[in-house]
Structure 1
Amino acid sequence: MSEASSDDEIDEIRAQKREELASQLDDSEEQPDEAVPSEPIYVNGASEFDETLSSYDVVLVDFHAEWCGPCKMLEPIVASLAETTDAAVAKVDIDQNQPLAQRFQVRSVPTLLLFSDGEAVEQIVGVRDESTYRSLIEQYL
């Protein structure tokens, strides 16, 4: 094989690889960000919590406890928000995740924290009507 035909083959292979890579880049740009789940994400531990915050632009976190009556009243609202908004909704049981509760200075349940781009931007302690949470979320979407 001559040196010229070898160079031509290499150039042809390079051109083909460039086209493949360009095609892959185009495909990845068309793919939307990770879809926001339509159900609450049950978070257990700091690493899961941090991963959830980094995976979604806006995350509403419900710090709750199994023994808490107001938390139980809030459950259907939290489920509805997860289903009908473009924010991810996470639930953190404070009894199983005391270090997380301490990290965010949760002193009463239910406490809901709203995160935008990984930063806590709003905090609501106690139960409010669904429209309050919804309007808060919409400010950051």
Structure 2
Amino acid sequence: MQILHAATPDAYHAALRDHPSVLVDFHKDNCPGCRMLDMSLASIADSPRAAGIVLLKVHLETIGEVFFRSLGLRQTPTLLLVRDGHEVARLPGYQSPKQIGDALAAAMAT
């Protein structure tokens, strides 16, 4: 799984435009669920279900809350699965490796 970082809204939109399958990780500092989610993401990064998926890390304090809210996001961590520029799944809160893997498999099978 390739990992990218978006520090601006333009970088966020460019990553979604340039990569057909993106798992977006919205996170912030001092968020226990975000740290736990990082461990889940690390454990599935090399799995077959993650093949061909780009992980886009978006730090809330860097990109700004206005942009975060403009996407309809309300909490961190939140994962978005984006395929061909369209959101296909939204996973708010901590997700286990199995939950992430199942969501990737379901979203990429459609």
| RMSD over equivalenced CA pairs, Å | 1.5
Instruction: Say if 2:2 and 2:53, in contact at 8 Å, map to a contact too.
Output: no
How far apart are the structure 1 equivalents of 2:39 and 2:13? 25
C-alpha distance 105-130 of structure 1, shift in aligned 2 (>3 A) = same
How many Å apart are 1:80 and its aligned residue?
3.5
Give the greater-gyration-radius structure (CA). Answer: 1
How far apart are the structure 2 equivalents of 1:80 and 1:129? 10
Of 55, 60, 63, 1:89 maps to: 55
- Look up the equivalent residue of 2:18 and give its one-letter code: S
Aligned positions, number: 104
Counterpart in 1 of 2:9?
46
How far apart are the structure 1 equivalents of 2:20 and 2:71? 19
* Structure 1 residue matching 2:61: 3-state secondary structure: coil
Of 111, 114, 117, 2:78 maps to: 111
Instruction: Say if 2:40 and 2:95, in contact at 8 Å, map to a contact too.
Output: no
How far apart are the structure 2 equivalents of 1:127 and 1:83? 20
State percent identity of aligned pairs: 25
Q: Which of structures 1 and 2 has the larger relative contact order (alpha carbons within 8 angstroms, sep 6+)?
A: 2
Higher helix proportion (structure 1 or 2):
1
* Structure 2: gaps of 5 or more residues: none
Counterpart in 2 of 1:139?
106
Write out per-residue CA displacement over residues 88-128 of structure 1, whole angstroms, 9 at most, x where no aligned residue: 11111111112331221211110111111101111111112
Counterpart in 2 of 1:68?
31
How far apart are the structure 1 equivalents of 2:17 and 2:107? 15
How far apart are the structure 2 equivalents of 1:80 and 1:45? 27
- Structure 1 outlier segments of 4+, above 4 Å: none
Higher strand proportion (structure 1 or 2):
2
How far apart are the structure 1 equivalents of 2:43 and 2:17? 22
* Structure 1: gaps of 5 or more residues: 1-37
